[in-house]
Amino acid sequence: MPWHERNSFVDCPWCGLTNTRLITVAAQQEVKDKLGNAKYWATLGCPSCGNAVLMRHPSPKSADTVAYEMVPRSKMTDSQVKHLPEDVSRYYDDALRVLRVGVPDAAAVQLRRTLEAAAAHYDIKEKVLVKSIEKLIAEGHVTQSFAPVLHHIRAVGNVGAHASDERVDHETAERALRFTTQLLRNLFEVPGELQELSADEPNEPEQSA
């Protein structure tokens, strides 16, 4: 029995529906590659958004019942950032969480707070976020090319924070999230990875003159 229904207890990678079970539409669907090797797939459906998910599973003759991969991947995976300080990840994780449950206004506000926390981590705590953005760039923490991205996150956050006829839709919040993810990788993930790389590299022997 290669396909096990426990594999259907996953979050929907399309709409982010959590704590549910996707509907198994079909399983043990065989697809052969050019060499004749077979792969087996199950098709699952989300009961909320109606989108389909493919999950690759072992051969019917296998004793293994663990799913190998899911297509598409969860958007949460694409948004993960390594080496985030706790004071920054708190707001970033909140933004991911509320966006997944369909509250883009709240996500926009949390992304703006993420930007404020990221600047504060570099001891930039201006009263006006615009000034913090300018200082981040002036001190070389991000390049000038990031300026439009930073101002976009700030502007979208402002819309989400104020009561008005203008609302932040899901697409706009998703775009702000992608921008924020790239910014955080630039500010924290890349330096963190380089630091780990430097720590792992063996010391080079001193060369005589």
The domains found in the chain, sorted by start residue, are 5-74 (no CATH), 79-196 (1.20.120.330)
Burial status of residue 99 (CB atoms within 10 A of its CB: 0-12, 13-18, 19 or more): buried
Bond into 72 cis (ω within 30): yes
Res 175 pLDDT > 70: yes
Res 208 pLDDT > 70: no
Cβ pair 124, 136 in contact under 8 A: yes
Global pTM value: 0.64
Where do we find the tokens 């369909």?
102
- The predicted-structure confidence for 33-66, as pLDDT tens digits, reads as follows 999 999 999 999 999 999 999 999 999 999 888 8
